[in-house]
Amino acid sequence: QVQLVESGGGSVQAEGSLRLSCVLSAKTTGAYACLAWFRQAPGKEREGVAVYTASGRTYYADSVKGRFTVSQDNAKNTLTLQMNSLKPEDTAMYYCAAAMPSCVGYRLARSEYNHWGQGTQVTVSS
C-alpha cells in the first residue's frame, strides 16, 4: 500500500523556519518517479511548491526559490522540505505527493501525482 505521512507543520513568525517531513511507505520508496510538496491556502487552488525526482533533480515554484529546499533521505524513507524566510503568504495546508510509475509532464502540475498524504498545516504570522 502506498502511504505518505506528513509532519512538521506549525505556527511561526515571518522570517522564521520550519522543516516538513513526509514518511514514505516501503511500496513508495524506489517505485516513484517524482515526489513533491504542494500547498493549498483557503479559497485557492492547490499549487506545486517543490519536486524531487527519482534521478535526484529538483524543481521549485518561483515563489519559493531560494527559500525552500527539498531533499530525500533514502535511509529514512523520508522526503523533507526545509522552509526558510517564511512569509505570511506561505500560510497553507502542505501536502506530500507521489507520481507513480511515471512523471513526464510539468513536474509541478497537480495532475502528475496520483498519491497524496493527508496534509500538515503551516501558519506564518506577520
Please say if the pLDDT value at position 110 is more than 80: yes
Phi, psi of 88 (to 5 degrees): -55, -30
Task: Mention every residue, 6+ apart, whose C-beta is less than 8 A from residue 64.
Answer: 49, 50, 83, 90
The per-residue pLDDT for range 68-106, each reduced to its tens digit, is 999 998 777 899 999 999 999 999 999 999 998 888 878
Report percent pLDDT > 90 for the chain: 79
- How confident is residue 21, by pLDDT bands cut at 50, 70 and 90? very high
Residue (of 35, 113, 119) closest to 74 by Cα position: 35
Phi, psi of 106 (to 5 degrees): -70, 115
Task: Mention every residue, 6+ apart, whose C-beta is less than 8 A from residue 11.
Answer: 123, 124, 125
Please say if the pLDDT value at position 29 is more than 80: no
Residue (of 30, 6, 26) closest to 18 by Cα position: 6
- Confidence at residue 60, expressed as pLDDT on a 0 to 100 scale: 97
